[in-house]
Structure 1
Amino acid sequence: MEEEEKKAISEQKRSCVNCGAELKYKPGTTNINCEYCGHQETITQDEDGFKELELKPYLSAMGSQSHSEEIMMLHCKNCGANQHVEENYKSLHCVYCTMPLIIEDAYKEDWILPGAVLPFQFDQKKSHQIFSKWVKGLWFAPNKLKKAALDPQNTKGLYLPYWTFDAQLYADYTGERGTYYYVSVPYTTTVNGKTVTRTRQERRTRWSPTSGNITGFVDDTLIKASHQRNNAIPKKLSHWNLDALEPFNTSYLAGFVTEKYTILLQDGHLSSTKEAERIARSWARQDIGGDTQRVHSIDMRLSQETFKHILLPVYISAYRFNSKKYNFFINGQTGKISGSRPYSFWKIFFLVVFILSIILILLWLSNK
């Protein structure tokens, strides 16, 4: 009975009271709607808000099994992506590499329940418009790429898994405070054939030893929770307004693919600790003051550590050209787009030929 209840949390689907079709999340709203008859329902918000989970129990073997559930997964044998497949999802192809996924290979796997989700802010139609406009503006793009951009089925909505970590930080540090001062330095130069001596101001730094301690709250350190091999999300797309996070509700996932984390919690925690050390050094430099600083040692301690498993939205369009795969990504919150792209050899070749022809014609006319 307990297993059935756990499955019901993430696998439940809502049917339309009018026509029976499945209700899907409508991007940019707090509604799920029927694509067939237009019926809408409001997503029930969790009054308790986000679920910040205490970290230490989850880093133990026993604790990692609490607040978790089973979901149905498909593993892409080509690129390694793990994708949560909904029964009604029409295209059983990997969102990253477009290779076919076999529904018979689906398996159940435990995951830590997401604590929050950042809902898509616009629909697939809008994302396709952004993608098409970007593709049409690419210089020397193959004609096949522009034709592929006309098919909305090439653009998929995907929720990416991330870890966020919160902690109270305390650190002792030793270092040096640098204060700038200037000295007059003589030098010689030649003026009107004569050697003259002049002076210039040069900056020096006076160092003095210092030590102290810093304390503060490190909030929502964002750590990617999945490996994408050759399909990594570009860093310039990974800027999110986490203030718009909503308490997790499976209704937001309806109609989209959800990727399961492959970077385990303990590995994500190690990355967040390194980020906390970077933050501690930055705070230490601010505390040292002066014109410049040196941090020689820092002894950092973290307490009251909590974490969330969150899902962030991105649209992906995959395309193959000359046996090579290209991915294009759109941030599902901001609409920012980025990706790799192929170049048309023949378009570049004919442009070079055209430029050389113009040069030759101009040379011929100048010699007449």
Structure 2
Amino acid sequence: MAQTQDSYQEPNVTGEHRFPCDQCGADLRFAPEKGLLVCDFCGNEQPIEGGGSHHHPIRELDFRAALDARLPDAEIEETRVVQCPNCGARFEFDPAIHAAECPFCATPVVADTGNQRQIKPKAVLPFALDERTSRKALGNWLGSLWFAPNGVKQYARKGRKLQGIYVPYWTYDAQTKSRYSGQRGTIYYETRTVMRDGKRVQQRVQKIRWRSVSGRVARFFDDVLVLASRSLPKRYTDALGPWDLSELEPYRPEYLAGFRAEGYTVQLDEGYAEARAYMDRVIERDVKFDIGGDRQRINSIDTDISNVTFKHILLPVWMAAYKFRGKTYRFVINGRSGRVQGERPYSAWKIAFAVIGVAIVAGVVGYLIAINQ
């Protein structure tokens, strides 16, 4: 939602998200279950200044200015990111770590020294579920899968920690006004006499009477959400919704303490193309509604789009990557609702035993029927 407030100074965004405890010096982390920064060593807790108040609006950025590279320097950041050679994910790396496992596909990754210039996040949706609660949700989901290998189910039972990732998204706002031409169809019926089996019978036949129409529709699109990552199958991340975007907080790095943040790999103009395709589908639905009648035909739609704005936001996702027989299977959990999606392997042995079992049961039933006849 496009809002401005000149008196509010947004915090600077940095590549590192480490906050030392003022009592023992250890790193604080954001605890979703408390909404606070906590120290796992001494138990110290610290509130996030200004967090959770929703008093400050989240300012949108001008889309055209961004495409023309006219955004203020304050909206651009340099971050140290590493790109996974397997899935292409780009995520921030702790400067003290030189090798790790990709949180998206479990591929070993070695850090490089390159920095990337990217548009800063404007907002973040903080994690609401902690790792333990999310792991339980994943375990329940995996346990409900039929014909899944035991190794997959044991993955959750063993308690292997999930990775908390802030995944990048774009949101787009736009005002649209569309002119259309088409046809409105009205259903009516005619009664005809036809021969059937040598007899004359009356038959009711449906017809459609078409009438040319034209008109205008208008719609303001608010926060059209587009995934800005290529690291996970889109069908799974899209299925994690809906997201409670009304709970977005102005970006504060404190929310990222103890978590990783992925850099966007879908560029702003690519994201807009996807958002525009969604807008076009909604506009087409609006046009059909405006045409009315029983049936609709659309000949043309001419849309003027204006006041396009955007923002880069981070949404919370718990992730797990499990390798089974050389293939990586990935699971994602909505860090707010606990909704689980993911790829799943099938156990060939379990399927084979199930087929054999069904065949045996069918054979026994057939035998009993035969001897009773």
TM over 0.5, shorter chain: yes
Q: Which residue of 1 aligns with 2:82?
A: 74
Q: Which amino acid aligns with 1:272?
A: A
Q: Which residue of 2 aligns with 1:278?
A: 281
Q: Which amino acid aligns with 2:142?
A: V
The equivalent position to 1:245 in structure 2, one of 245, 248, 253, is 248
Name the CA distance, whole Å, in 1 between partners of 2:69 and 2:178.
29
Q: Does 1:31 align with 2:36?
A: yes
Q: Does 1:345 align with 2:348?
A: yes
Q: Which residue of 2 aligns with 1:331?
A: 334
Q: Which amino acid aligns with 2:45?
A: Q
TM-score (norm 1): 0.88
- Given that residues 132 and 150 in structure 1 are in contact (C-alpha distance below 8 angstroms), is that contact kept between their aligned partners in structure 2? yes
Q: Which residue of 2 aligns with 1:307?
A: 310
Name the CA distance, whole Å, in 1 between partners of 2:159 and 2:122.
31
- Given that residues 98 and 110 in structure 2 are in contact (C-alpha distance below 8 angstroms), is that contact kept between their aligned partners in structure 1? no
Q: Which residue of 1 aligns with 2:8?
A: none
Relative to structure 1, the CA distance from residue 34 to residue 295 in structure 2 (aligned partners, 3 Å threshold; closer, same or farther) is: same
Name the CA distance, whole Å, in 2 between partners of 1:361 and 1:323.
39
Q: Which residue of 2 aligns with 1:225?
A: 228
- Given that residues 14 and 79 in structure 2 are in contact (C-alpha distance below 8 angstroms), is that contact kept between their aligned partners in structure 1? no
Name the CA distance, whole Å, in 2 between partners of 1:155 and 1:185.
68
Once the two structures are superposed, what CA deviation does each residue of 1:48-86 show, in whole Å capped at 9, x if it has no partner? 321211111111034385511111211111221101124
Q: Which amino acid aligns with 2:49?
A: T
Q: Which residue of 2 aligns with 1:205?
A: 208
Relative to structure 1, the CA distance from residue 61 to residue 230 in structure 2 (aligned partners, 3 Å threshold; closer, same or farther) is: same
The equivalent position to 1:17 in structure 2, one of 7, 16, 22, is 22
Name the CA distance, whole Å, in 2 between partners of 1:208 and 1:223.
38
Q: Match of 2:100, SS?
A: coil
Q: Which residue of 2 aligns with 1:60?
A: 68
The equivalent position to 2:126 in structure 1, one of 94, 119, 129, is 119
What is the aligned-residue identity percentage? 36
Name the CA distance, whole Å, in 1 between partners of 2:130 and 2:83.
26
Name the CA distance, whole Å, in 2 between partners of 1:79 and 1:216.
37
Relative to structure 1, the CA distance from residue 278 to residue 146 in structure 2 (aligned partners, 3 Å threshold; closer, same or farther) is: closer
CA deviation after TM superposition for structure 1 residue 341, in Å:
1.4
Relative to structure 1, the CA distance from residue 303 to residue 57 in structure 2 (aligned partners, 3 Å threshold; closer, same or farther) is: same
Relative to structure 1, the CA distance from residue 91 to residue 119 in structure 2 (aligned partners, 3 Å threshold; closer, same or farther) is: farther
Relative to structure 1, the CA distance from residue 362 to residue 179 in structure 2 (aligned partners, 3 Å threshold; closer, same or farther) is: closer
Q: Which amino acid aligns with 1:37?
A: C
Relative to structure 1, the CA distance from residue 253 to residue 89 in structure 2 (aligned partners, 3 Å threshold; closer, same or farther) is: farther
State the Cα RMSD in Å.
2.7
Name the CA distance, whole Å, in 1 between partners of 2:195 and 2:206.
19
- Given that residues 7 and 71 in structure 1 are in contact (C-alpha distance below 8 angstroms), is that contact kept between their aligned partners in structure 2? no
1:177-188 equivalent positions in 2, closer than 5 A? 177-188=184-195
- Given that residues 58 and 64 in structure 1 are in contact (C-alpha distance below 8 angstroms), is that contact kept between their aligned partners in structure 2? no
| Most deviating of 196-205 and 84-93 | 84-93
Q: Which amino acid aligns with 2:164?
A: G
Name the CA distance, whole Å, in 1 between partners of 2:234 and 2:290.
40
Q: Which residue of 2 aligns with 1:3?
A: none
1:264-275 equivalent positions in 2, closer than 5 A? 264-275=267-278
Q: Match of 1:152, SS?
A: coil
Unaligned runs of 5+ in 1: 1-5
- Given that residues 50 and 115 in structure 1 are in contact (C-alpha distance below 8 angstroms), is that contact kept between their aligned partners in structure 2? yes
Once the two structures are superposed, what CA deviation does each residue of 1:90-114 show, in whole Å capped at 9, x if it has no partner? 98210111112223x2421111111
Name the CA distance, whole Å, in 2 between partners of 1:174 and 1:326.
48
Q: Does 1:139 align with 2:146?
A: yes
Relative to structure 1, the CA distance from residue 29 to residue 169 in structure 2 (aligned partners, 3 Å threshold; closer, same or farther) is: farther
Name the CA distance, whole Å, in 2 between partners of 1:165 and 1:325.
33
Q: Which residue of 2 aligns with 1:159?
A: 166
Once the two structures are superposed, what CA deviation does each residue of 1:267-325 show, in whole Å capped at 9, x if it has no partner? 21222222222222222222222222222111111111110101112111111111111
Q: Match of 1:233, SS?
A: helix
Relative to structure 1, the CA distance from residue 196 to residue 154 in structure 2 (aligned partners, 3 Å threshold; closer, same or farther) is: farther
Q: Which residue of 2 aligns with 1:130?
A: 137
Q: Which amino acid aligns with 1:16?
A: C
Name the CA distance, whole Å, in 2 between partners of 1:257 and 1:178.
55
- Given that residues 177 and 294 in structure 1 are in contact (C-alpha distance below 8 angstroms), is that contact kept between their aligned partners in structure 2? yes
Once the two structures are superposed, what CA deviation does each residue of 1:113-136 show, in whole Å capped at 9, x if it has no partner? 111111122011111111112222
CA deviation after TM superposition for structure 1 residue 243, in Å:
1.6
Q: Match of 1:149, SS?
A: helix
Q: Which residue of 1 aligns with 2:3?
A: none
